[in-house]
Amino acid sequence: MALLALTRMTVADSVRQPVTWLMTVVSLGLLGMSYLFGMFNFEPEDRLRMLATAGVAVAVINGLFLAVVGVSQSIHDELASRTALTLFAKPLGRGTYLVGKALGIWLTVVASGLVLVAFHAALLWLGGRSSFEDSFSSHAASDALHVPWQPVLVAHALGFLHGGVMACVAAVLALRLALVANILICFGVFVVGHLLAGVKLMGAVVIPALALFNVDDAIQLTAQSVSWSYVASAALYTILFAAGSLLVGLSLFQRQDIP
């Protein structure tokens, strides 16, 4: 199937890019620094909450960067080098091309994110078990800190969906904008999409409701809770937004001449 072949090709190409490995390694370093900084400040419970929210934030930023830069660079390079014309001659529909690019980069985001989630979970377990002390010997099991596992894992799952939304936005904009302009506008969309919640708006037509993917309150406050059904609702929104944005992109792409 053409879509699967293009998706695999996009994943393989993005994995070979140094920026993918560099961003993942930098994110792992930031997670490690979050753990170390937590050992010098606040009460143990506050340290754990700080580590939990910092880990989710690092994973989201990692996904945002890989999604936006990966999609933008991949589409821009293939259109500029006319490689896309070779793909269309296979034949490969333009809609399939657009979906395959967004899906391939998103799978790369998920792969990188799973590495971060595993490392984040290990740090949370270590911090909770040791209460951020140098050893486990002076702490009985009853002294271990409570790690909000469900809110943290839900937040990471929402972070993957967040990356999917931004990958679709970047894919559509990459058809018309230069590489740098596309990246800057996508980061602007990220900022505005989160700020709209402060003025009682979740989204604004072309601006995705990115605040839907933020559940920091459930991590910080024990009275707050978030279930996996919320992830399912967010996934439905992601699918609908992705389909709508890619359809808009396809309508523009069909009338676009590749120079």
Render pLDDT for 194-248 as a digit per residue (tens, 0 to 9): 888 766 676 666 788 898 899 888 888 766 778 889 999 999 999 999 999 999 8
Across the chain, mean pLDDT equals 85
The number of beta carbons lying within 10 Å of the beta carbon of residue 233 is 12
The verdict on residue 66 lying in a domain is: yes
Report residue 11 CA to chain centroid gap. Answer: 15
The verdict on residue 90 lying in a domain is: yes
Domain count, the chain: 1
The verdict on residue 177 lying in a domain is: yes
Average pLDDT over residues 33-58: 82
- The position carrying tokens 């676009």 is 256
The verdict on residue 176 lying in a domain is: yes
Classify residue 259 by burial, with Cβ atoms within 10 Å: 0-12, 13-18, 19+. Answer: exposed
The verdict on residue 201 lying in a domain is: yes
The verdict on residue 259 lying in a domain is: no
Do the Cβ atoms of 20 and 14 come closer than 8 Å?
Answer: yes
Average pLDDT over residues 52-65: 94
More confident site: 81 or 125: 125
The verdict on residue 69 lying in a domain is: yes
User: Which domain range does residue 155 map to?
Assistant: 2-254
Is residue 79 predicted with pLDDT exceeding 90?
A: no
pTM for the whole structure = 0.89
The pLDDT value given to residue 140? 47
The verdict on residue 117 lying in a domain is: yes
